[in-house]
Structure 1
């Protein structure tokens, strides 16, 4: 059965104007101008082919045609609200599916998720290493990406955009490269890794020096397993927590975002 196209925005405006019997008060509720309310009502009257309001000496009144449609309209909006509530209730509030690079989970995120779980008993995590996985296909709630910003998604920066050159004690001067690595100009890579995590592991193994996000190297630097060959420097990319707007607005995601950004 083909659905009739409904002018839902105009119907919402009509509902507000009918409740207040005032375009001005309806405009205040909807955060628009009275002129915009009037325009929507006129457009709806044109679509329906009826007059919905008339002005009298006592103010604005509904016509019989407007009265006839008001109760079914309000019942419909209530059903819309019930539908939204049902869809939200169906979302698992105790399980997070997160795509995060292995190295970032090991060095930064894992400990914080454990602390969050201690505060929210029963929370479960489903983790995938492909941070560039499709949100819909992988049924993701969130992803952590090394990027310059959130792009078309909603997001927050989890780490500062800083990088550092590191090597193990006594390591050779060979450079370890990885896709997007900001090696010094003229530096030739003796080793090419697939990710900053592999580059970091190669440096820890004494295979040479590399430039990685500071957040990845802080633990090894603090433990003395690596040494910094210079001070941290500004970088273009940082680790961002991102999600499409529908996921980002969900209650459970807001709770985790608030915790990680505190």
Structure 2
């Protein structure tokens, strides 16, 4: 059913003027001039074909038609306000939905979300796996997405980078068939141009490659961000200083999500 176009602004002016029975006090509440209030009321009366106020010498009086309609109109504006509150509550809810590659979640993001959660105990996280390329935010209810690659190019999508990334060759300390240049290679999608001569294993992601290297199955080239925790724990060692990667880790979201305080606060924490 086609809805009738409602002059909501004029109806709002009428509701305020009807409460005060004064164009001057209505103008004060609405931060406009009394003349603007009078103009809106006259236009509404013209549109409806109904007189809404009797202009007396020192005050206003509602007509019978206006008195009959006013309670329903006031209830309608209360319903509008409640609907707006519900929409705002959804945007400011204590749940953060994040899409990120599994390896990044396992090797870097989960620990930082745990730290952030301790600072914000009422916050809850929802994590979805997203492995390749930029997130299609039109198809997913996601607050923030993280991907490896270039700066987001899609219209309306903005990003913050975690900084320059390096590709490290890592292996278990003193384990496996060797940790030198002749060690078997563990391949994964983020290392498409491996310098290893032979491949001992191919795995689904860089996180699994790190675990396989730590188990002594060979060496692998992985982004430094993903290897940092295992390097610090001594599970793996770096065989060289690494080389700069063409891409970077990007935290991305559409413009409306960047307006949310919960998204901006989390991004600031992750980057900081």
Query: In terms of mean alpha carbon deviation, does 128-137 or 95-104 score higher?
Result: 128-137
Q: Give the Cα–Cα distance (whole angstroms) in 2 for the partners of residues 121 and 193 of structure 1.
A: 36
How far off its partner does 1:20 sit?
9.8
Which of the residues 143, 150, 153 maps onto 1:151? Answer: 153
The reply to whether residue 141 of structure 1 matches residue 146 of structure 2 is no
RMSD: 3.7
Contact 2:168–2:221 (8 Å) recurs in 1: yes
Contact 1:147–1:238 (8 Å) recurs in 2: yes
The residue that corresponds to 1:231 in the other structure is 241
The residue that corresponds to 1:26 in the other structure is none
Q: Give the Cα–Cα distance (whole angstroms) in 2 for the partners of residues 256 and 70 of structure 1.
A: 47
Structure 2, gaps ≥5 residues long = 8-30, 46-76, 178-182
Which of the residues 169, 175, 178 maps onto 1:170? Answer: 175
The residue that corresponds to 1:161 in the other structure is 165
The residue that corresponds to 1:108 in the other structure is 108
Aligned length: 208
Q: Give the Cα–Cα distance (whole angstroms) in 1 for the partners of residues 110 and 196 of structure 2.
A: 36
Q: Give the Cα–Cα distance (whole angstroms) in 1 for the partners of residues 257 and 209 of structure 2.
A: 32
The reply to whether residue 205 of structure 1 matches residue 215 of structure 2 is yes
Contact 2:143–2:263 (8 Å) recurs in 1: yes
Query: SS state of the match for residue 256, structure 2?
Result: helix
Query: SS state of the match for residue 249, structure 2?
Result: strand
Q: Give the Cα–Cα distance (whole angstroms) in 1 for the partners of residues 259 and 103 of structure 2.
A: 27
Which of the residues 234, 244, 256 maps onto 1:246? Answer: 256
Contact 1:182–1:211 (8 Å) recurs in 2: no
Structure 1, gaps ≥5 residues long = 7-18, 22-60, 72-77
Sort the Cα spacing of 1:261 and 1:185 in 2 relative to 1 into closer, same or farther, 3 A: closer
Contact 1:171–1:209 (8 Å) recurs in 2: no
How far off its partner does 1:195 sit?
1.2
